[in-house]
Amino acid sequence: MNGELSIIELFLGASLLVKLVMFILLMASVASWVIIFEKWLMLRRARANAKIFEERFWSGIDLVDLYRQLSKEVETLEGLPSIFTAGFGEFARLRKQEGADPMSIVEGAQRAMRVAMSREAERVESRVAFLATVGSTSPYIGLFGTVWGIMNSFRALGGSTQATLSMVAPGIAEALIATAMGLFAAIPAVIAYNRYSHSLDRIENQMETFNDEFSSLLQRQAYSR
């Protein structure tokens, strides 16, 4: 409890600029943790949904039936189901046209799937770059506050006829809190960014693999008409 009170007292005794630096770092840390938990839940849901969909897709179910089932919840579809409905919907639409070339049908479906993949990639990657920004800039922001606080401490020390440790220690302690807060904001953000970047790469590779496999199935169906 005493440690907490001393930190609060040091914060209140810091200069206005150092307080502003600490406030910015605190807000960056809070925003980072919100994004970290949000992305953790999103990636967990994405992996579960992808597993369930692949089991249904490769179970031998008729693709028309699967498309009809998923079309009822198209507004909430994410990941592989979204890519499937976009591709198969375009495939079915083009296939109904008289004299449609099989290759044109498949290419149209592939374009629709690429658009859906781009949307999904943009959705899952949203705000992850913020974690990288916090991780790379927070230590420097904290260091800036520390340097400024130490400059003020030595400026006050220079106007004194007798320099003692008790005179300069509180000012340096106030300044070092800024560096500590910068590291506190940066370390979780960097760890989460590296972890999530790896997970996002795996999800995007999974979507690309499904796109290739599904394109092959559509191509066989188009030429078998």
92 inside domain = no
What per-residue confidence (pLDDT) applies to 172? 75
88 inside domain = no
What per-residue confidence (pLDDT) applies to 36? 95
What per-residue confidence (pLDDT) applies to 192? 95
- Is the CB of residue 118 less than 8 Å from the CB of residue 139? no
| Tokens read off for 129 | 């770059």
Confidence of residue 63 (pLDDT cuts 50, 70, 90): confident
105 inside domain = no
pLDDT mean across residues, the chain:
85
Name residue, tokens 């994004």: 35
* Sign for the pseudo-dihedral over CA of 180, 186, 189, 192: negative
| Tokens read off for 219 | 């191509």
pLDDT at 2 > cutoff 70:
no
User: Which structural domain, as residue segments, surrounds residue 170?
Assistant: 2-61+128-223
Confidence of residue 186 (pLDDT cuts 50, 70, 90): very high
Q: How many independent structural domains does the chain possess?
A: 1
pLDDT at 167 > cutoff 80:
no
Q: 129: how many CB neighbours lie within 10 A of its CB? A: 11
pLDDT at 134 > cutoff 90:
yes
Amino acid sitting at position 2: N
Confidence of residue 3 (pLDDT cuts 50, 70, 90): very low
Least Cα distance to 80 among 70, 68, 72, 93 occurs for 70
Query: pLDDT tens digits, residue range 197-225?
Result: 999 999 999 999 999 999 988 888 877 76
- Interhelix angle 102-125/16-57, rounded to 10 degrees, is 150
73 inside domain = no
70 inside domain = no
- Is the CB of residue 86 less than 8 Å from the CB of residue 119? no
171 inside domain = yes
Q: How far apart are the first and last CA of the chain?
A: 76
What per-residue confidence (pLDDT) applies to 1? 43
122 inside domain = no
| pTM for the whole structure | 0.80
41 inside domain = yes
Query: Distance between CA 11 and CA 183 in Å, rounded?
Result: 17
Confidence of residue 187 (pLDDT cuts 50, 70, 90): very high
Q: 8: how many CB neighbours lie within 10 A of its CB? A: 10
Cα 136 to Cα 9, 12, 44, 110, 130: the distances in Å are 28, 27, 26, 38, 10
Q: Which residue has the higher pLDDT, 159 or 54?
A: 54
What is the pLDDT averaged over residues 38-51?
91
What is the pLDDT averaged over residues 120-146?
91
